[in-house]
Chains A and B, each alone.
Chain A
């Protein structure tokens, strides 16, 4: 047995709490700032304890927005982010699971070339091809649209590879059995394979939702209209104006609201999150 002496155990607890404090401190400050008066913050007099403006600030943030240049309610930005994140997550899972199904359960000409064409996209993050992609989206008249926001981010090989790997582990007997029952390929997919993939799909969904919600560079480029802004782009525009004019309580409330959905997902669906993270990184 490797026994841990009491002293060492205390040290471990202390180090972990210090780590947690470091990790949580910036978020605590953001929350505190979102409940205070802007004048106080602008003077550098911010208190380290929550102030009394919580409801007022969050009401204005969600329903009105800043009074400055980008007057767009953050509630609307959140809706845009939500639609984009859901489209990316659901879209990716849907197109990947059917293409993985075709690649694993059928033999057809060009099967392997098609697999490689999809596989290679692993190596091309959107950041390295932003302007050409921008041009195509513009030519297709998809600027300022949900399709333009999500489609270029939907295609990636990770999900396809994951489902392919999983399908390879599904016993062949299941297919034989459903064939004896007279089920065709679509029936087998719907009645047998899809229910078996539920956990994988859920884990993938959690990760893709977070990644989608947190997209920044792409929405920044292709949204020009304020009412199509996602929350990540909106928060940046709030601090563009000269420092003196920045409405910090609203900026910080927006930061808190931007963190809330993905952090909630991580904490509540921790098992799925960890599983999804580990599997997509393999």
Chain B
């Protein structure tokens, strides 16, 4: 697409793009390039000499059981967060889409958690479910659950998933509601005339018509679970107990920070970049489809 009416000027356009171009080159391309270069280098223990080692850092990574576990864990977390948050948000959106009194108020009361920062989400949930002082832990223990997410890895993982899904409800709700409102009401009327009961109407009419939204949200939720859970994990468990809540992003952070193993950390960054590019690519393909839909 091109504009017909344009200005003629030699230097002005360059001056206008210069600030953004400068920032992008300095803070995006140069570091990304550095990450790629570093991922092929091996530094000795004192950081005095570096040698070019081809793919050794990558090979080491894939031989490392801890890295493999982190990959599997990240995908499991993503899947659990996406499915639980999406299904709960869809239920709420379907309810809020009905012609109810006070539906604007409902929307307001359901969307604000979008604005709560991940580390704060972590603090809120660890406080409620803290083994010794959490208000909800009392009830869990009352029910006979041996609740201690600070010692039990599975419970820690469950807590992270719960908190991360909670934060994402509002975002999913908003997009589901928009998706539902975009479906012409006549479609439902036709289904109702055909005698379809509400539950059947949902599964045979609403759900299929909503599938572009669902797919879009699925990708967004996976990206969210990959990156934005860092703050939640860091305030709640620091990746622990052991390594039971270490995700890929958390591992890049902790390996680079503690181990100082820059080559491996850089290789991990490059792998993450590839994953993001794939996910974004999927999203773009989908957006194109939505336009022609």
Contacts and interface: CB of A to CB of B under 8 A. Distances in A.
Q: Is the interface of A mostly helix, strand, loop or mixed?
A: helix
Nearest to A22: B166
B109 A20 contact: yes
B45 interface: no
A251 to B, nearest CB: 6
28 contacts: A12-B100, A13-B100, A19-B95, A19-B169, A23-B109, A26-B124, A27-B124, A30-B124, A42-B133, A44-B132, A44-B134, A105-B7, A106-B6, A106-B9, A106-B12, A108-B13, A118-B21, A128-B249, A132-B30, A155-B24, A168-B3, A172-B4, A185-B12, A210-B115, A217-B230, A233-B119, A266-B112, A277-B114
A136 B188 contact: no
Interface in A136-177: 136-137, 151-152, 154-155, 160, 167-168, 172, 175-176
Contacts of B253: 130, 217
Contacts of B32: 124, 129, 132
Contacts of A245: none
A41 B192 CA distance: 54
Residue picked from B17, B95, B134, B256, most chain A C-beta under 10 Å: B17
B100 A216 contact: no
Interface string B141-184: 00000000000000000000000001001110011001000000
Nearest to B255: A131
A117 B235 contact: no
A220 B253 CA distance: 11
A272 interface: no
Say whether chain B's binding surface is mostly helix, strand, loop, or mixed: helix
A13 B231 CA distance: 34
B99 A172 contact: no
Interface in B95-153: 95-96, 98-100, 106-121, 123-128, 130, 132-135, 137-138
Contacts of B276: 123-125, 128
Contact of A16 (B13, B95, B185, B189): B95
A11 B266 CA distance: 52
B115 A262 contact: yes
Contacts of A210: 114-115
Given A129-B269, A172-B3, A26 B19 contact: no
A133 B114 contact: no
Assign chain B's interface to a size class.
35 or more
Contacts of A236: 119, 123, 234-235
Interface in A204-254: 210, 213-214, 216-217, 220, 232-233, 235-236, 239, 243, 248, 251-252
B85 to A, nearest CB: 12
B116 A262 contact: yes
Contacts of B280: 122-123
B46 interface: no
B118 A216 contact: yes
Interface string A98-135: 11011111111001001001100111110111111101
Nearest to B35: A132
Contacts of A64: none
B111 A135 contact: no
Interface in B1-58: 1, 3-7, 9-10, 12-14, 16-17, 19-21, 23-32, 34-35, 38
A118 B24 contact: yes
Choose among A99, A122, A175, A217 the residue with the greatest number of B CB atoms under 10 Å from its CB. A217
Contacts of A175: 5
